[in-house]
Amino acid sequence: MTNKYNVCDNSRGAKSTAAACVITPDDTTALGALIKATIDDQSVNVPMGTTILEAAKMLGIRIPTLCYHEDLCISGVCRICVVEVEGMRNLQASCAYPITQPITVRTHSRKVRQARRHILDLMLSTHYGECYTCVRNNNCELQSLAKEYGVDFYRFGHVDKPKTGKDKSSYAIVRDEDKCILCRRCVRTCVDLQEVGVYEAVNRGADTRIGTFMNNPMSDVICINCGQCINRCPTGALQAQDPSDEIWDAIDDPAKHVIIQTAPAPRSAIGECFGLEPGNPLTFEMNTALRHCGFDKVFDTNFTADLTIIEEGTELILRLYKALVEKDQSIALPQFTSCSPGWVKYIEHFYPEYLPNVSSAKSPQQMFGALIKTHYAKMNNLDPADIVTVALMPCTAKKFECNRPEMNDSGYKDVDYGLTTRELAQMIKEAGIDLLNMPKSDFDDPFGTMTGSGVIFGATGGVMESAIRTVYELVTGEVIEGVFEKARILPVRGFEGVKMAELTISKVGPVPDILKHLVPDWNWLKGATLKVAVAHGTANAQKVMEDIKAGGPLSECHFIEFMACPGGCLGGGGMPIPTNESIRAARAQAIYAEDEASEVRKSYMNEAVLRVYKEFLTDGPCGHKSHKLLHTEYMVRGKKLI
């Protein structure tokens, strides 16, 4: 397998690694030269264009920031990072000041400290709300800076009542303009990082505010509910819709049977909410904590991740068979994944003509809900009306997804509540549970059997890697480890914005029993080269879609994985704050470690999934029953597209 095409690496400014001579005051144009920066009496040689903030980090000197974020382009609007540059009358914003000649800087002089304090006082003068009632209490950058700079009174006054109130119209995101400090992180996240554009700065001067198109509520704007704006907001101006109170009510109701399914990404990161460094998973401690909270059953979303691979993989095989063997020119290729509800909403808004390319398979969350209120209810003689299904997800878009009107194929709302990693952490704290010292326990049967393929759904490229592991072995009859050491399909891993890879099927085996009703043999695939691609973050999704529209290399792919969030689910809008590239990398490492520790690492080998096909979905993958419960149909102007 080769990685043939890298459209975008999503980097935010390449850093030079060349080391040449140190620039002197008379030579500031030498190619590849380094420039001497002296910051608080410490010196460092940096490439031309390095900002003062970056140079200070190299020396271990901390400069406070608010508008700056490692994932975003430079803005320089909040001015909290101002420093004193020798020879300049005014203070300079260190995050936006490029070093182009030798420079001497003071980062904490009296002048700098006073300026930062005044800036904070001005922000606080328009910032409404008591910290006690704020969702970001003890995790607010403005609050932390106020403490750091000794704010003990409101120098320029303080707002004592809300001016605008909260916008709670969205299923996913709550806006509170009264807590906004105009840092524009949300604007840059939505415009630059995600290429959606929900927010913009409107008006000027003291009247500036962050608004939406025509000041519409969040429910009426083109928002994909990804929640990336929440993850980068420094205050409580943006938060997720929290269903915790409703879930507690259900748990406390003896007539309700409350089930929680847990996605792979939250278990890799929930420890961060309890003081652990990123990359320390608490999968089995979390299971015990959930039972202590009162959930009747704790199931693993990895179960339906494996189910998704079988359904989505079967759909891909059927599309290829119809296109290549039956010569049906109406078949839409490449097939797009449908696991990410933010991505699905993105394509609905921006590229609806390509909806036929989206797999009809529901996400693992929704497949689980449909099975719980049908198969599980029947197995346990439960009335589906008395079952409450909760989905622990890394994603705010899952809140929107479970409320979509078409997600009720069980005859009920398939998933009642979407709960983020942050919200579950708060519930655990509220219950007085010491998560870090909980004994370990496994998931409940019959939906607790997991594979490594289900776990890696949490990282970008994970769905593709899982699909390749299963499809390759089902088609060739050979183990994937013969091609990739330890089943690590490295060409689809990593944080490059877009990756493309190829895998040639040099031999074929017999058709497995589970698929014999769909295709007679695999001879039509012998010698074929499967072309796949992976994209994460909708800015990169846009690049892929435009390449396909232009007939570029990606239009030749057969299967493309899209994830709305940078890094995939492990960078989701419901994950612990803060997030950046190194934190996402640590979470990914935890996910891959859990994969390799799994006894079974291929979806089609999950015995519990195979048992569901034998006992319930008896007409097999993509059969009539599975299509009714596990698939959906996309509509444009009243016409079925799938």
414, 402 contact by CB (below 8 A): yes
Closest listed residue to residue 626, CA positions, set 297, 374, 350:
374
624, 466 contact by CB (below 8 A): no
66, 142 contact by CB (below 8 A): yes
In the DSSP assignment, the letter for residue 363 is: P
Residue 536: enclosing H or E segment and its boundaries? strand 529-536
Helix ranges, 325-363 (H): 341-350
Rg of the chain (C-alpha set): 26
Taking each helix axis as running N to C, give the angle between helix 421-430 and helix 244-252, from 0 to 180 degrees, rounded to the nearest 10.
50
Q: Phi and psi of 389, rounded to 5°?
A: -105, 125
In the DSSP assignment, the letter for residue 13 is: S
95, 84 contact by CB (below 8 A): no
Rounded Cα distance between 538 and 324, Å, is 30
N-term to C-term CA, the chain: 30
CA atoms 353, 354, 359, 365: torsion sign: negative
Strand order in the sheet with 498-504: 2-5, 498-504, 529-536, 559-563, 335-336
Q: Which residue has the tokens 């008896």?
A: 618
CA atoms 470, 472, 476, 478: torsion sign: negative
95, 67 contact by CB (below 8 A): yes
Q: What is the largest CA-CA distance in the chain?
A: 85
Residue 585: enclosing H or E segment and its boundaries? helix 581-597
SS3 of residue 466 by DSSP: helix
Q: How many helices (H) and strands (E) does the chain have?
A: 20, 21
Provide CB contacts within 8 A for 411, sequence distance 6+. Answer: 373, 374, 384
3-state secondary structure 94-124: CCCCECCCCEEEECCCHHHHHHHHHHHHHHH
Residue 292 token pair: 């202590």
Q: Which residues are catalytic?
A: 312, 315, 339, 359, 398, 401, 406, 569
As beta bridge partners, residue 532 has 501, 559
Q: Phi and psi of 452, rounded to 5°?
A: -60, -30
